[in-house]
Amino acid sequence: MMDWTDRHCRYFHRLLTQHTRLYTEMVTTGALRHGSLRRHLRFHEEEHPVALQLGGSEPEDLAFAAKLGQEWGYDEINLNCGCPSERVQRGAFGACLMAEPALVADGVKAMVDVVDIPVTVKHRIGVDRIESYDFVRDFVGQVSEAGCQVFIVHARNAWLQGLSPKENREIPPLRYEMVYQLKRDFPHLTICLNGGVTSNAQIATHLRHVDGVMVGREAYHNPWLMAGWDHEFFGEPASALTREAVEEAMVAYMEREAVDDDCPWYPIARHMLGLRHSLRGARRWRQIWSDHHLKPLPPRAVMAQAWQGDPQPV
């Protein structure tokens, strides 16, 4: 979710669900060693619970980054062992780390030793042509011994050569049963499932077998899906929240960001373009919020134009 789940996106998502845990885009240990901490680590208090996802492989660097994450107030440190992109591979982290469980375990232990918040791992079920369940079972077993108690498992292999990141999300088959088996074999661990989840019914089905479900791209492109999660999965009363109220809240947020951080509205608005997914008039609404000719206007004036025609459910 690089370049997607930034702090503006997470603020938007938190308007839709109060209890779902949010994750940052992956932040590399190098960026935290040499870049702007404020740029990479700042977030809004409203985002809690929120996890900082790290990309890296050197235990010393991971410990440094995890300690920073705790100091900045994050609720969890998550190590990415699932991203298959070539850029990530060149940095010797992401999905290629699954072939080095001892190194991952060393990194996890280094982080666990310096923070009091949970250290978790996100990974695939295999890499390239390794399709044996034993591979992912042994990976989880070895890393858990280092102190990781939560594993978020993308139920596909990662092909490190020959497939783009997009193809890696579509071509390797989903094998949910392998994730279910991990929970059966490690009942004391928290096992969460990721990959290909597009509906609340699917989430409910998976939760009969695992402890949690992570939803990525579907939540981004169809964010209203999240509006019912607090009721369906966290036992809260049904919400009376409307899309219009969410859009109003985002416009107010854009106005504050313009004053407090000199941030224009359009890099914020891009994250809510799926808000009217499946509604009549949604295409025109998206076009208005995406129109670069409207950038000089204040966000409230853009919203007024977007509401002309009053999009309604199909």
Q: What is the pLDDT of residues 260-276, one digit of tens each?
A: 999 999 999 999 999 99
CATH number of 243-313: 1.20.120
Structure tokens at 219: 């939540």
At 61 the pLDDT is: 97
pLDDT-based confidence at residue 229 (cuts at 50, 70, 90): very high
What pLDDT is attached to residue 4?
86
pTM of the model: 0.93
Tokens at residue 313, please? 């459910």
- pLDDT given at position 89: 54
> So what's the pLDDT on residue 309?
56
Report how far residue 255's alpha carbon sits from residue 260's, in angstroms, rounded to the nearest whole number: 9
pLDDT the model gives residue 312: 45
Q: What is the DSSP string of 150-212?
A: EEEEEEEEE-SSS--HHHHTTSSPP-HHHHHHHHHH-TTSEEEEESS--SHHHHHHHTTTSSE
pLDDT of residue 95: 83
Q: Which has the closest alpha carbon to 83: 163, 200, 179?
A: 163
pLDDT-derived band at 223, boundaries 50, 70, 90: very high
List of E strands, the chain: 22-23, 27-28, 50-55, 76-81, 119-127, 150-158, 190-194, 212-214, 279-280, 312-313
Nearest CA to 211 out of 152, 157, 141 is that of 152
Structure tokens at 193: 């499932």
Position 313 scores a pLDDT of 41
User: Rounded distance, CA 118 to CA 74, Å?
Assistant: 10
Average pLDDT over residues 188-196: 97
Domain with CATH 3.20.20.70 in the chain: 7-232
Eight-class DSSP state of 2:
T
Residues with catalytic function: 83
Query: Above pLDDT 70, what percent of the chain?
Result: 95
pLDDT at 169 over 60: yes
Give the pLDDT score at 161.
76
31-64 residue pLDDT tens: 999 999 999 999 999 999 999 999 999 999 999 9
The better pLDDT of the pair 164, 280 is held by: 280
Residues forming CATH 1.20.120 domain(s) in the chain? 243-313
Q: Among residues 115, 116, 133, 112, which one has the least CA distance to residue 124?
A: 133
Q: What is the CATH number of domain 7-232?
A: 3.20.20.70
